[in-house]
Amino acid sequence: MRGIVFDGTKTEFVDGLTLRAPGPRDVIVEIAAAGLCHSDISYMHGLYPVPSPGVCGHEGAGVVVEVGNAVTHVEPGDHVIIATLAACGFCDRCADGHPTGCRQTLANWSQPFTLDGEPIYNFAATSAFAERTVVRDVQCVKIPDDVPLTSAALVGCGVVTGMGAVFNRANVKRGQSAAVFGVGGVGLNVIQALKVQGATTIIAIDTESKKEALAKQFGATHFIDGNRDDVVVAIGELTPWNTELVRGPFNGGGVNWAFDCVANPAVTFNALESLDWEGTVVVIGVSGQTTEFHGLYGRLTQVDRGIIGCRYGTISPHRDIPKIIELYLRGDVLLDELVSQTFPVEQWESAVQGLESGTVARGVLTF
Ligand SMILES: [Zn+2]
Ligand SMILES: [Zn+2]
């Protein structure tokens, strides 16, 4: 079968992959669509400390074709979104509804594929850039058949990462304000989740001025062009300390929440500077493992500000993904509009170029 393999130095479209049979708790999914996320490009650039060669892709949706004999919640023919968390289901974190903290969800790679007789690793316990993949039962979330699989695919990473940060990691309250740094596949989902939560000032920031229309379509109330404006000053003017003063004592004024979808040191610094008293920066973007950021200690103690990280929207897939699909079916969140362009899997390089150049917010590969 066809797929995209990173061999440790280069990435290639191949034909001739084989897949092992499912174990008792495994599910074989025929991938219909798979989103291209920044993490895939990082993997293709060898930036992750994971083994290769491996089949790329971690944001997929498809149809169940075969299940192990202990799998009870899905059956062949079911449409599913694949979550990358191959959580154990039994540890204290899993029992507490926090599978992103399950120790089994990292470094759990295996070699379910072969290519010309050579074992090939999976990536992020998913490997969605193949015609078929094998995942754990807990990773498969059943969805209604009428949800387009090209839209559903994005839920598996970008959508839950952005929306989950708002729903689970932060505690955004009705009427609060938020700044969202980076209007990409994740940032758009932060924006629309903020709208669902009832945030009334949602400020989108990007260095591409053409992202303004998209940000506003998803619920942003304001847009700041990071190339043109001083971002911290502009956020302060939108959320002043009082009617006379833009920034008050201890840098008061600013937003209640700042979502950093970029994780670049300058962006994280600006995010902290943009907070009102008691505000929190939520870092969602993934940066290099040794990249450092800096900020002013005084901002934290004065007054009660904080910086927190968020992995994969801190989601519990079987709780959060059905909720997101329900919101979509009710028209409260947009999924179809997230798909900037679809590409037949053979044209994966065009999707990579589009994402890297910023012309494609989210490209989806189809099989
Ligand atoms: Zn666990
Ligand atoms: Zn991703």
Please tell me the distance between residue 94's alpha carbon and the centre of ligand 1 in angstroms: 4
Please tell me the distance between residue 71's alpha carbon and the centre of ligand 1 in angstroms: 18
Please tell me the distance between residue 103's alpha carbon and the centre of ligand 1 in angstroms: 6
Q: How far apart are CA 201 and CA 142, in angstroms?
A: 34
Please tell me the distance between residue 160's alpha carbon and the centre of ligand 1 in angstroms: 19
What residue ranges define each of the domains in the chain, with the CATH number in brackets? 2-158+314-366 (3.90.180.10), 171-309 (3.40.50.720)
The answer to whether the CB of 310 falls within 8 A of the CB of 165 is: yes
Q: How far apart are CA 151 and CA 137, in angstroms?
A: 22
Helix axis angle for 265-273 and 231-238, nearest 10°, is 30
* Nearby residues of 357 by Cβ (< 8 Å), 6 or more positions away: none
pLDDT of residue 357: 86
Q: Which of 204, 244, 240 is nearest to 225 (CA)?
A: 204
Q: Which ligand is nearest to the CA of 126?
A: 2
Residue 94 identity (one-letter amino acid): C
Helix (H, G, I), strand (E, B) or coil at 282: strand
pLDDT of residue 289: 83
Q: Which ligand is nearest to the CA of 35?
A: 2
Alpha helices in 98-230 (DSSP H): 149-154, 160-164, 187-197, 211-217
Q: How far apart are CA 217 and CA 334, in angstroms?
A: 9
Q: Torsion angle of alpha carbons 103, 106, 112, 116, nearest 10°?
A: -150
DSSP type of residue 228 = T
Please tell me the distance between residue 28's alpha carbon and the centre of ligand 1 in angstroms: 22
Q: How far apart are CA 21 and CA 311, in angstroms?
A: 31
Helix (H, G, I), strand (E, B) or coil at 61: strand
Please tell me the distance between residue 116's alpha carbon and the centre of ligand 2 in angstroms: 28
Q: How far apart are CA 177 and CA 257, in angstroms?
A: 6
Q: pLDDT tens per residue, the chain (367 residues)?
A: 999 999 999 999 999 999 999 999 999 999 999 999 988 999 999 888 899 999 999 999 999 999 999 999 999 999 999 999 999 999 999 999 999 999 999 988 999 999 999 999 999 999 999 999 999 999 999 999 999 999 999 999 999 999 999 999 998 999 999 999 999 999 999 999 999 999 999 999 999 999 999 999 999 999 999 999 999 999 999 999 999 999 999 999 999 999 999 999 999 999 999 999 999 999 999 888 899 999 999 999 999 999 999 999 999 999 999 999 999 999 999 999 999 899 999 999 999 999 888 777 789 999 9
Look-up of token digits 């072969």: 114
Q: Which ligand is nearest to the CA of 154?
A: 2
pLDDT of residue 360: 79
How many CB atoms sit inside 10 A of residue 214's CB? 22
Please tell me the distance between residue 93's alpha carbon and the centre of ligand 2 in angstroms: 22
* Nearby residues of 10 by Cβ (< 8 Å), 6 or more positions away: none
pLDDT of residue 38: 87
The answer to whether the CB of 259 falls within 8 A of the CB of 165 is: yes
Please tell me the distance between residue 308's alpha carbon and the centre of ligand 1 in angstroms: 22
Q: Which ligand is nearest to the CA of 186?
A: 2
Q: Which of 224, 220, 306 is nearest to 268 (CA)?
A: 306
Please tell me the distance between residue 40's alpha carbon and the centre of ligand 1 in angstroms: 25
User: How many contiguous H segments (helices) and E segments (strands) does the chain have?
Assistant: 11, 19
Q: How far apart are CA 354 and CA 360, in angstroms?
A: 5
